[in-house]
Chains A and B, each alone.
Chain A
Amino acid sequence: MSLLAVERIRAGYSEEVDILQGVSLQVEQGQIVAIIGPNGAGKSTLLKAIFGILRPKEGRVVFDGEDITGLPPETVVRKGMSYVPQVRNVFPSLTVQENLEMGAFIRRDGFFERIEEIYRMFPDLREKRHQKVGRLSGGQRQMVAMGRALMLDPKLLLLDEPSAGLAPAMVEMVFEKIREINRRGVAVLIVEQNAKEALKFSDHGYVLAMGRNALDGPGQELLRNEEVAKLYLGG
């Protein structure tokens, strides 16, 4: 049984227009799965529909054997899934440590051990833990955003464009962290503009176009696929 199964989801921001027109995908236990595709294909919308920020009009989302279709985000997070939005993904007026505390809001125990693990994974954050996140650099904010989502030991982490707007050196660091998180047993579903890089470390990739599944396959295979290369990987 898949950890996450999305079945023919239709969703959109208005009554009339459906951004997603019947998208399906699966994430297996411990996998990294990438969603790629052109702007406007509905990649971010898909993550929102999975996490309950957007209510699907049709289709099902099954997580860990449970139907979570249409549950609100504050309930979905309690099932063991975390989500890092692309923008506005930190609490700017709270300190680094407070941001991590909010990530652990629903956690009952093991808070101090977990925050130590997060600081070990992102050593920069330990130094800045009493600073307001609004004053940090873009890369550091992205670390706070990921650290917040990881405070729960999720089974599945949803990442929306984690490398967007970062300097090349930071992009490399973020990707390395994603691999590290995955090595610790967290499945990752990632939306990425930087498709080539993302596919390199993904077990499976889905290409979305116009709100539909265009193509899918193992990451390495998609990298070699001529059609994908021409359309989405920049030749």
Chain B
Amino acid sequence: MLELFVYGIVLGSIIALGAIGLTLVYGILRFANFAHGELMTAGAYVALFFVGTLLPRLGIPNDPLSPFSFGWRMVVAFPLAMAAVAAVAVLLDRVLYRKLRQKGSTAVMMAMSALGASLILRMIVLILWGGDYRSFFPGVLRPAVELPLGIKVRPDQILILAVATVLVVLLHLFLHHTKIGKAMRATADNMELARISGIRTERIIVWTWVIGGCLAAAGGVLYGIDVQIHPGMGWNFLLPLFAAAILGGIGKVYGALIGGLVIGVLQQLSTAWLLPTYKPAVAFIGMIVILLLRPQGIFGGKD
């Protein structure tokens, strides 16, 4: 049980990375990006391309950095995957979402176009890499270590938690201690007043997609390190991402973080009684129960 809780925290930290990006984009653009899960998928597959195809050709060795299951290839691929997905997210905004925004499209049209974008991204992954489950490092042994209280975890999982924590801390520092970060929060608060203050909000929107894309890619790669990747993974993440973001009060970064952890833990604990197939349903039932108790979300409501 305790072990499932720890696994839930690991899964929750991955969900949180996606949900934070989702909530940031929503906060600035009031737009539910249904393609956010696919950004996670894209991150995982870009990393797969680097660790499985490009970096081996460049002669970067594959020896795992003990005690982890991966080596230098992943260390190099990780930031590259983040950068690539940030570019994809910015591009998607440029060619699609921004055009619709400028035409004054309704929320429903925006959501449907995001749904379409998610299908396109998923199909591109499917065409390029096929539909199989893939591992970053097939055949590498992944022994678990035993922590106090008899909790067995893999060193990879501890690292996932550490990386997610570092990213969230970096995001916090960015949002509260840099000029662009503060301007981003100001834009989320009141875009018209931000423009009146001289903030070029189109640039802030680009920053938002960069950060959302980076965090989604990180989540996708970390998920791949934990288990396996497949083209439908982002789609499967979409419900938990939304559940986490809504649970935390949509638009609230720390809400999405806590929401992610709650959803991750709920999902993993449920496997003690239910088939893992029910995990997405558990995410939503958890969300509904908490929202019935606190309709504004855990952190929602007045500032």
CB within 8 Å of B: which residues of A? 51, 53, 72-74, 77-78, 83, 85, 88-94, 98, 101-103, 105-106, 132, 134-135, 148, 152
Contact = CB atoms under 8 A, between A and B. Distances in A.
A95 B246 CA distance: 25
B179 A91 contact: no
B189 A94 contact: yes
DSSP majority for the B interface? helix
| Candidate in B186, B199, B302 with the most chain A CB atoms within 10 angstroms | B186
Interface residues of B, number: 20
A148 B192 CA distance: 14
11 contacts: A53-B196, A73-B195, A85-B193, A90-B193, A94-B185, A98-B186, A102-B183, A102-B186, A102-B199, A105-B179, A105-B198
Given A77-B197, A132-B303, 5 more contacts: A74-B198, A85-B192, A91-B186, A93-B185, A148-B197
Contacts of B186: 91, 94, 98, 102
B270 interface: no
Contacts of B196: 51, 53, 73-74, 77, 83, 85
B185 A91 contact: yes
Contact of A106 (B182, B198, B201): B198
Contacts of B165: none
* The 3 A-B residue pairs with the shortest CB-CB distance in the complex, in nearest-first order: A106-B198, A134-B303, A93-B303
B182 A88 contact: no
Interface of B: 179, 182-183, 185-186, 188-190, 192-201, 302-303
Residue of B186, B188, B196, B198 most packed against chain A (CB within 10 A): B196
Nearest to B188: A93
A51 B198 CA distance: 12
A74 B195 contact: yes
Contacts of A134: 302-303
Most B CB contacts (10 A, CB to CB) among A78, A83, A93, A103 go to: A93
Contacts of B190: 88, 90-92
Contact of A92 (B183, B201, B303): B303
Given A93-B303, A134-B302, A134-B303, A105 B183 contact: yes
Nearest to B200: A74
Contacts of B201: 74
Given A98-B182, A101-B182, A132-B303, A91 B193 contact: yes
B184 to A, nearest CB: 11
Nearest to B203: A74
B297 to A, nearest CB: 15
Which of B186, B198, B201, B302 has its CB near the most chain A CB atoms (within 10 A)? B198
A135 B197 CA distance: 21
Nearest to A98: B182
A73 B195 CA distance: 6
B198 A93 contact: no
Contact of A94 (B182, B192, B198, B200): B182
A132 B185 CA distance: 12
Q: Which of A77, A91, A132, A148 has the most CB of B within 10 A?
A: A91
Looking at B179, B189, B194, B199, the one whose CB has the most chain A CB atoms below 10 A away is B189
